[in-house]
Chains A and B, each alone.
Chain A
Amino acid sequence: MVVGNIILRLRGSLEFKCQLDSTDVPHVQKVISRTFEALGSQVKAESLVLSLSSSPVFLWPNKGGHATAGEISPNRPCKDLQQLIQTDDQESSRKKSAKKDKKNPTAGIINLTLMTEVTEPGVLSAPTLLRGSKKHHLLQTTLPMDCVVSVLSSESISVVCGTLVGALCSQLSDMEKVALRHMKGTALLIPQPFHFLLPAPVGLVTVVYPAGVPDSQLETRRKELHSLFELPDDRPYLRRANALHFPDEPYKDGYLRNPHVHLNHPALENGKPYLVQGVYSYHHYMQDRVDDNGWGCAYRSLQTICSWFQQQGYVERAVPSHKEIQQALVEVGDKQGSFLGSRQWIGSIEVAAVLDQLLGVTSKIMFVSQGSELASKGRELANHFLSEGTPIMIGGGVLAHTILGVAWSETTGQIRYLILDPHYTGAEDLQVITEKGWCGWKGPEFWDQNAYYNLCLPQRPKTI
């Protein structure tokens, strides 16, 4: 997110309704296009109203940004709108730790909803009733509009309103293209917008995909977009799972995401941190009503890795349960049937096998005969995080952990490991997890210096 910019997000539903007198393709396409055109006019009408979420403010973007609240006039900078939003910050600040969340960009997002004023005076006359008697197919749905614009916080409200209406119009036009492209007979797939934060200089983009068509069938479209945005063609950026997760929308599944971003990274002389890329969920003991205290640590590390592949868009399958993990191992012949339902530990080899069996992901295995050797693996680990950026599962002695990053100095040889500990048995409390070191930086003394260790380094599939 660009500093000094504000993000405005406008959401709402538009009613899409059209009458098809015949089902031959040219007619259908003409009617659909005309309906989208009419929606475009609706969006530019003076009766369009934007409701500023959590506030009593309403804006009329097509009347120069006129607003209800007296203090807001159209030439005020749009950042003034933020002050009118009544957040429940009073509540959440009590829960937040003293170590304030620096990386929280929630303050920068202004949410708006689409509304219409039915009392907007027009030049209409007293009501008339028209009865049509042509047989037709009535197509009806609501379009889930979701526009995001990034503007300078000093930009005036009236200009920002114009930008938002423009965004609505161009989204309608994108939706029309998607609808027509994927239409079969009278089946109109609902176009759905997704937002992606692409690497600089591209930034925030919105792509419309048709509902019900899986990512696997949309590869051609993604290839076009990758080429348009000059994105590398070997890793996904535009799968639905890659969609930007807005900071003000809590994840509904209850797992913590990327707890490591709340930590201070170690400052090593001539060294820097090399971290996991993207988003993962923290899986640990006792979650999902499974009491795996004492035996499930590797399973949990594996779950964390699977969550990474799911959230980066490589797979659509959900994170596997302990049962499913054991089932997979039996299926590949690694374990006997008696393994199912047991509390047997697994190691890096098994983790790699499951990743292959369930996710189609291959892994590199690294072996150290003594824990003390890990101190010299700085370069290798750093390279892994640079090129693959996936979480690493490490098993040895009697414990399994997840390595999320390494801080390493080439000159001094100093090394630190960013560890996500699956042995945590408490609730999803970010403060406890970061302060008590369940997610934290450890030194080389963390490892059992005499035990041997296996590391599973998952490799990214080369696909978009």
Chain B
Amino acid sequence: MGRGYIVEDVVEKYLSNLSVPGASCVTGLLIGQSSSQRDFVVLAVRTPQKDTEGQGSPSVSRGAGNSLEHLDVEWVTEHARQVSRMLPGGMSVIGVFLVTPPELSKEGQNTLRRLIFAVDKHISKGRLWSLTEEDVTEKVTLHICSKTRKVVCRTYDVRDPKSSAKPADWKYQSGVCTSWPLLTCSVGLNLVFPVLEMHVLPQDMEKCMKEGLQTWAKQIEDGLCLINGDAMPGEVELLGGQKKNAKAVQQTFRAQILIPMAEPQSERRLTASVKVCSGSLTLKGMVQCRAYLHSNKPRAKHATEVIKRDVINTVSSRVEMFLEDLLMEGEDKGSVGVQQVLPRRVFAPVPGMSLCVCDYMFPDECVSDVSDRLKEMLDWETPEDSIDTSQEAVPEAPTIDLKNTVVQKNLKAKSTLDARPKTPSEDPTEAHKSHKTYYAGVAMAAAIALLATGTSLIYLSD
């Protein structure tokens, strides 16, 4: 008994329109949701090109010929990780696809197996919530022959490294996600993490934040979730009220998360604990959260799970991005004692569907950067005015020291931003950076801007 994948028509169109010149191979991701009974695929995205040297296999170096051995698995997994960050709760990378010429079909199966395990491993890294027994751990691999366009669909249980391929059904349908219920909420954060050993090295900050966020994530995971103001028992069907033949419409549910104000102490202490710290990290603000459920009899417990996971993911993603950014720019002089703005979440509609994806904008980026990224990561054009940047308000800008030099630097940064594309080869300052970071160009410019605004005047005062 294999799994059954219900796939949106647009995916079929996308896959058949993929330009696969000659004897090259194309890899990509399959995005959707898995439930215990059924699985849904709503998007397929090819792995973006690594360099701008014209067309050709994006993940196979030129001249390597037809072998799949030169497939850059890391590149594929990194793309998967970046894409995962752009998906609201409920949606995730549930599989990979591979288009090969007929002679490589057999080897392609092995590649797919390697890819799916690697992708799952990479996107699970740094995850602050835990999988439950009810989570589906089967992921799908799709092989497409470039000549015959024949499709072979198999699944692997990524929890078991020795698992073997199981055949699965791949069926196209229209309107798969038109009635997927949407859950929304906005979560306020006011977290203070003590830093026992204060170095300005991002690695130490990262460790400190990770530990603090882990505790917070557990509180959210264990918290109570109300849906539309109601504490529903987990087994209640969310869409219970709908008539069978009623027109499929997307319902929106408001989620509220309640947690105890503090965890009672586990040990019988008589005095408050005292720690000598050399600094602290304060994370404050509000995050907008969204999650989608499938329409196959979703229950209240699934709803609470997906929205909670989105809450945790959005906070950890942007902290990760912020730290990655810091790591790139190296030592950040002068940014201690300054309130730094984390990337804020913006939403963009998926063309032709009632779903949306998200992205994170650094403080000095603009909508066109988001649009570029969507093209790079998800391979579709998004008109700039359809990108919703209003969900998370821009924090009040710290007062800028109006030295001329600073203002000039700012302007320079802005002009760098507007120029495109931002590939490593073009931007000379990028030479030393890892080719794996897609946000390289934009982030670098943003980092310059951050340094510039680093002279601003919010210092930690008692």
Question: What is the CA–CA distance of A118 and B255 in the complex, to the nearest angstrom?
Answer: 11
Q: Which of B261, B270, B337 contacts A132 (CB 8 A)?
A: B337
Tell whether, in the assembled complex, residue A133 and residue B460 are in contact, meaning their CB atoms are under 8 Å apart.
Answer: yes
Question: What is the CA–CA distance of A190 and B286 in the complex, to the nearest angstrom?
Answer: 32
Question: What is the CA–CA distance of A120 and B189 in the complex, to the nearest angstrom?
Answer: 11
Question: What is the CA–CA distance of A186 and B274 in the complex, to the nearest angstrom?
Answer: 7
Known: A19-B462, A137-B277. A128 touches B341 (CB 8 A): yes
Q: Which residue of B lies closest to A139 (CB)?
A: B272
A126 within 8 A of B: yes
Tell whether, in the assembled complex, residue A68 and residue B279 are in contact, meaning their CB atoms are under 8 Å apart.
Answer: no
B residues contacting the other copy or chain, number (CB 8 A): 68
By a CB distance below 8 angstroms, the chain A residues around B261 are 12-15, 42, 114-116
**Which of these binds chain A: B144-152, B164-172, B392-400, B414-422?**
B392-400
By a CB distance below 8 angstroms, the chain B residues around A133 are 198, 278-279, 336-337, 460
A244 within 8 A of B: no
A residues contacting the other copy or chain, number (CB 8 A): 52
Question: What is the CA–CA distance of A121 and B254 in the complex, to the nearest angstrom?
Answer: 12
A140 within 8 A of B: yes
Known: A12-B260, A68-B229, A115-B261. A189 touches B271 (CB 8 A): yes
Encoded as 1 (CB less than 8 Å from any B CB) or 0, chain A from 4 to 26 comes to: 00000000111111010100000
Encoded as 1 (CB less than 8 Å from any B CB) or 0, chain A from 102 to 134 comes to: 000000000001111111111011111111111
CB of A187, distance to nearest CB on chain B (Å): 5
Encoded as 1 (CB less than 8 Å from any A CB) or 0, chain B from 382 to 395 comes to: 00000000001111
Tell whether, in the assembled complex, residue A129 and residue B283 are in contact, meaning their CB atoms are under 8 Å apart.
Answer: yes
CB of B323, distance to nearest CB on chain A (Å): 10
Question: What is the CA–CA distance of A142 and B271 in the complex, to the nearest angstrom?
Answer: 10
Tell whether, in the assembled complex, residue A130 and residue B275 are in contact, meaning their CB atoms are under 8 Å apart.
Answer: no
Tell whether, in the assembled complex, residue B460 and residue A132 are in contact, meaning their CB atoms are under 8 Å apart.
Answer: yes
By a CB distance below 8 angstroms, the chain B residues around A136 are 276-277, 280
By a CB distance below 8 angstroms, the chain B residues around A125 are 285-286, 392-396
Tell whether, in the assembled complex, residue B256 and residue A119 are in contact, meaning their CB atoms are under 8 Å apart.
Answer: yes
CB of A331, distance to nearest CB on chain B (Å): 32
Question: What is the CA–CA distance of A115 and B225 in the complex, to the nearest angstrom?
Answer: 12
Tell whether, in the assembled complex, residue A120 and residue B188 are in contact, meaning their CB atoms are under 8 Å apart.
Answer: yes
B318 within 8 A of A: yes
Tell whether, in the assembled complex, residue B188 and residue A188 are in contact, meaning their CB atoms are under 8 Å apart.
Answer: no
B185 within 8 A of A: yes
By a CB distance below 8 angstroms, the chain B residues around A15 are 261-262
Tell whether, in the assembled complex, residue B286 and residue A124 are in contact, meaning their CB atoms are under 8 Å apart.
Answer: yes
Within A28-68, the residues touching B (CB, 8 Å) are 42, 47, 49, 51, 56, 58, 68
Question: What is the CA–CA distance of A130 and B257 in the complex, to the nearest angstrom?
Answer: 25
Encoded as 1 (CB less than 8 Å from any A CB) or 0, chain B from 246 to 270 comes to: 0000000001111111111100011
Q: Which of A14, A116, A122, A134 contacts B258 (CB 8 A)?
A: A116
Q: Which of B188, B224, B280 contacts A124 (CB 8 A)?
A: B188
Encoded as 1 (CB less than 8 Å from any B CB) or 0, chain A from 186 to 226 comes to: 11111000000000000000000001100000000000000
Question: What is the CA–CA distance of A15 and B205 in the complex, to the nearest angstrom?
Answer: 23
Tell whether, in the assembled complex, residue A115 and residue B339 are in contact, meaning their CB atoms are under 8 Å apart.
Answer: no
By a CB distance below 8 angstroms, the chain A residues around B287 are 126-127
By a CB distance below 8 angstroms, the chain A residues around B322 are 129
Known: A122-B188, A126-B394, A130-B281. A142 touches B342 (CB 8 A): no
Q: Which of B194, B258, B272, B337 contacts A188 (CB 8 A)?
A: B272
Q: Which residue of B lies closest to A145 (CB)?
A: B261
By a CB distance below 8 angstroms, the chain B residues around A131 are 205, 279-282, 335-338, 340, 460
A135 within 8 A of B: yes
Known: A47-B188, A121-B186, A124-B285. A142 touches B264 (CB 8 A): yes
Tell whether, in the assembled complex, residue B342 and residue A129 are in contact, meaning their CB atoms are under 8 Å apart.
Answer: yes
Within A122-164, the residues touching B (CB, 8 Å) are 122, 124-142, 144
Q: Which residue of B lies closest to A49 (CB)?
A: B258
Question: What is the CA–CA distance of A114 and B261 in the complex, to the nearest angstrom?
Answer: 6
By a CB distance below 8 angstroms, the chain B residues around A14 are 261-262
Question: What is the CA–CA distance of A15 and B191 in the complex, to the nearest angstrom?
Answer: 12
By a CB distance below 8 angstroms, the chain A residues around B256 are 117, 119
Within B209-257, the residues touching A (CB, 8 Å) are 220, 223-224, 226, 229-231, 255-257
Tell whether, in the assembled complex, residue B260 and residue A13 are in contact, meaning their CB atoms are under 8 Å apart.
Answer: yes
Tell whether, in the assembled complex, residue B284 and residue A127 are in contact, meaning their CB atoms are under 8 Å apart.
Answer: yes
**Chain A interface (Cβ < 8 Å from any Cβ of B):** 12-17, 19, 21, 42, 47, 49, 51, 56, 58, 68, 113-122, 124-142, 144, 186-190, 211-212
| 6 pairs of residues in contact across A and B, judged by CB atoms under 8 Å | A117-B257, A124-B285, A125-B395, A130-B460, A131-B205, A138-B194
Task: Name the 4 nearest CB pairs between A and B, nearest first.
Answer: A127-B285, A132-B460, A212-B270, A126-B344
